[in-house]
Amino acid sequence: MGLSQALSTAMAGLRANQAALALVSSNVANAETPGYVRKTTNQVETAVGTGAGVNVAGVNRVLDDYIQSQLRTETSGAAYATTRANFLSNLQSVYGDPDSSATLEAAFNALTTALQALQTSPESQSARTGVINAAQAMAQQLNSTSQGIQTLRNSAETGLTSAVNSANNALTQIAKINKQLLNFPAQDASTAALLDQRDQYITQLSQLMDVRVVAGDGNQVSVYTTSGVQLVSGSDAATLSFNTQGNVTPSSQWSADPSKSTLGTISISYPNGGSIDLVSSGAIRSGSIAAYLELRDNTLVQAQAQVDQLAAAMASALSDTTTGGVAYPPATPAPAPGTPSGFDLDLSDMQTGNVIHLTYTDTTTGEQKNISIIRVDDPSVLPLKDDATVDPNDKVIGIDFSGGMASVVSQLNAALGGANIQFSNPSGSTLRIVDDGASGLSDVNAASVTTTASSLTGGGAQLPLFTDGGNLYTGAITSAGSQQVGLAGRITVNSALLADPSRLIVYNTNPTTPSGDTTRVDFILSQLTTGTYSYSAKTGVGSNATPYKGTLLGFTQQFTSLQGNAAAAAQQLADGQNVVLNTLQKKMDDASGVDIDTEMANLLALQNAYSANARVMSTVNSMFQSLMQVL
């Protein structure tokens, strides 16, 4: 029966129009909702009698998968770059405004200015106090720089904690939605909404780490890191955990060995058991988590190493004396031919961390060799590595001094006996280093010992002006690590000097140094301004093979420019990354976003179609009425 068929077709048309209208309204309503993907109806025609009806089979999400996956990758990259740029820009404020007095270089310049004033008026109490104040300001500037760096490391650690929490939330939600979607296999509006939500969580996750999403059957997705670690599989989500270790200090270091690590690590555990350390396996390569890890374990550690190195070089420059050995045997009486010859060194002032430098020639190869013998008082740190000194060409031997001279001599003979160098202890704390004499396989060229002055009035110009929080800084190596680590945070002006600033001039008490004697000030000033030192490659300045050698100011100049350039480069990278991200976001929005004009045009069309369908119905209705009247 034609009429009733037309009526039901018009009804179907009205229903389809209503469904489409509902979508238009939800598109318009969600035009500004993040992650909302424009929906269209999936209409199919159905054969009804001689004509065709219409049926709404489902809802389509207008999505470009390729752009979406690209967008996720770039989101990770942008989060990484932005986090890094933010931290480095904060680090820049730790170094201060270059034109202000709150910078390391300004404090250093103020110290040299005060020293010059003292050199001109050594008897002046105010000039002496001026130097002490400037030295304290320098120490405090180092302290606050170190503190600033550690605060940033702490922020990175805290950042990791919240990032891991957010990641866990996202993973759980993705798994939950996966599970819900199992119950709604059809492509209807609620499914589409769930898919939108899941994509949104994946985008959140990709800000934290780099992820790869693999789509499965039945609207299921699995999420992996790009390095291949599974995060979500179907309705099972892995759990990330971060064992934060509380306060971060310069000596806090992450280590793959959990018993040695003093910083938190991220591990992943699966519902069915099993756990992986994501930090040691380097599984996270992008996103803000990777940026936090990079900052906490490398960038900021290097920044700390730079200020520590500056503090250490400055402290040692003022307190260390290198004394050459006394030639043995003496020239008169003439020694018998073939007598082993070498040097006598007085080790009485040697402190833990102080170094004996020995140069000898292996006459069979003609090769000159440098040996650095470092005093340690804790045998557990032995043997030392060659990078314990900055010198790239030396072999480092750590010797435990806790057993007295006899033990020192036997350790040295054990270590270097094979090189035909002999050690002995003729008396007291004298160390005699001689070659093998008549056999002529080796020649001792030079020997010297570097000692740290512990007294302010030891009779030499050297003085421990800066101390390691009250203790002498000697570069000691203990089971807690090198004394240099974190020195910038602990460095202070010697309290004995604060109590008696006259010790800046008086280096001898018997006879008392006259108050106009500038020997010590001259020494301090020349060590600080013109003395050149070698700096560890751990600071990022110079390399292991050719360490940077220069003045203290030169080194400061090197590392502040290094940090400045790094921060500028990171900012440029972040800006560039954001441009890419914005462009992609725009493309994504062009493809999947709601365009109000389109929706309005659709609305007009639907309105017209609806009136047309309604007209069909009313026409059929009047035809039915005509028919009824006829009957």
Partner 1 sequence: MSIDGVSGRTSYLGSSLINIKNQLDTLTEQLSSGKKTTTYAGLGIDAGTATGLRAQISTLASYADTGTLINTRINVANLSLQGMSDSASTVKAAAAGTTLTLDNTGKTAGQTTAMASFTQMVALLNTNAGGRYLFSGRATDTPATEPADVMLNGSGTRAGLTQLIDERAQADGTTGLGRTVISSPTPTSVTIGEDAAGSPFGLKLSAVTTTDANATVTGPASPAPGDPLEMSVDLGATNPSDGDKFTFTFTLPDGTSEKIELTASSSTPLPAGSFAIGADSTETAANLNSALNTAVGTLANTALVAASAITASDNFFSSSPPQRVDTSTNPPVALRDGTQTDTVFWYTGESGSDPARGTAVAGIDQSISVQYGARANEDAFVTALKNIAVYAAVTTNASNPNANGQLTALDSRIVDNLAVHTGKQSIQDIQADFAGAQTAIATTKDRQTQTGSIAQSMLDSIQGINDNEVATKIMALQTSLQASYQTTASLYQLSLLKYLPAP
Contact residues: partner 1, CB under 8 A: 31-34, 36, 78, 82, 88-89, 92-93, 95, 97-99, 105-106, 108-110, 112-113, 116-117, 119-124, 514-518, 522, 525, 529-530, 553, 556-558, 560-561, 563-568, 571, 578, 581-582, 585-586, 588-590, 593-594, 596-597, 600-601, 603-604
CB of 306 to partner 1, least distance (A): 13
Q: Which is nearer to partner 1, 106 or 209 (CB)?
A: 106
Nearer to partner 1, 90 or 180 (CB): 90
Residues 352, 474 contacting (CB under 8 angstroms): yes
Shortest separation between residue 504's beta carbon and partner 1, angstroms: 14
| Shortest Å distance, C-beta 97 to partner 1 | 4
Backbone angles phi, psi at 239, to 5 degrees: -115, 130
- Give the number of other Cβ atoms within 10 Å of residue 333's Cβ: 7
468 forms beta bridges with 471, 491
Cα–Cα distance for residue pair 539/611, rounded to 1 Å: 77
68 and 61 Cβ atoms separated by less than 8 Å: no
CB 110 to partner 1: min, Å: 8
Within 13 Å, how many C-alpha atoms sit on residue 57's CB side?
8
Task: Check residue 547 and report its DSSP letter.
Answer: B
The letter for the amino acid at 102 is: A
As a whole number of angstroms, the distance between CA 80 and CA 155 comes to: 15
From the CB of 524, what's the least distance to partner 1, in Å?
13
CB 43 within 8 Å of CB 52: no
Q: DSSP character for 598?
A: H
CA distance 242 to 160: 8
Rounded to the nearest whole angstrom, what is the least distance from the CB of residue 589 to partner 1 in the complex?
2
| Minimal distance, residue 592 CB to partner 1, in Å | 9
Say what the alpha-carbon torsion angle 10, 16, 19, 23 is, to the nearest 10 degrees: -130
Between 582 and 621, CB nearer to partner 1? 582
Q: In the structure encoding, which two tokens stand for residue 477, read together?
A: 């190596």
Q: How far is the CB of 136 from partner 1 (least distance, A)?
A: 18
Minimum distance from residue 425 beta carbon to partner 1 (Å): 39
Show the tokens assigned to 366.
């003609």
Query: Measured from the CB of residue 310, what is the shortest distance to partner 1 in angstroms?
Result: 13
- Least CB distance from residue 361 to partner 1, whole Å? 37
CA distance 556 to 384: 28
Cβ proximity to partner 1, 104 vs 447, nearer residue: 104
Q: Are strands 51-61 and 320-324 parallel, antiparallel or unpaired?
A: unpaired
Q: 146, 173 in Cβ contact below 8 A? A: no
Distance CA 226, CA 241 (A): 19
CA dihedral 540, 75, 178, 227 (to 10 degrees): -30
Which of 509, 481, 515 has its CA nearest to residue 252? 481
Q: What is the spatial distance between Cα 268 and Cα 225, in angstroms, rounded to a whole number?
A: 12
Peptide bond into 333 cis (omega under 30): yes
Of 392 and 593, the one with the shorter C-beta distance to partner 1 is 593
Q: Which run of H or E residues covers position 491?
A: strand 491-493
Of residues 99 and 217, the one with the C-beta less far from partner 1: 99
Specify the residue, 354 or 558, whose C-beta has the smaller distance to partner 1. 558
Q: Which is nearer to partner 1, 347 or 567 (CB)?
A: 567
Least distance CB 231 / partner 1 (angstroms)? 22
In this complex, which beta carbon is closest to partner 1, that of residue 33 or of residue 251?
A: 33
Which residue's CB is nearer to partner 1, number 121 or number 220?
Answer: 121
Of 110 and 447, nearer to partner 1 (C-beta) is 110
405/415 Cα distance (integer angstroms):
15
Min dist. Cβ of residue 1 to partner 1 (A): 36
CB of 173 to partner 1, least distance (A): 17
Which 3 state secondary structure label does DSSP give 603?
helix
Residue 465 contacts residue 288 (beta carbons within 8 Å)? no
Q: What is the DSSP string of 348-397?
A: TTPPTT-EEEEEEEETTTTEEEEEEEEEES-GGGPSPPGGGSS-TTEEEE
CB nearer partner 1, residue 318 or residue 567: 567
- Helix, strand, or coil (residue 550): strand
Q: Which is nearer to partner 1, 109 or 222 (CB)?
A: 109
CB 563 within 8 A of CB 148: no
Pairing of strands 275-277, 367-376: unpaired
> Shortest gap between Cβ of 332 and partner 1 (angstroms)?
29
- CB of 228 or CB of 511, closer to partner 1: 511
Task: Kindly tell me which of 3 and 569 has the beta carbon lying closer to partner 1.
Answer: 569
Please name the residue that has the structure tokens 């002046």: 124
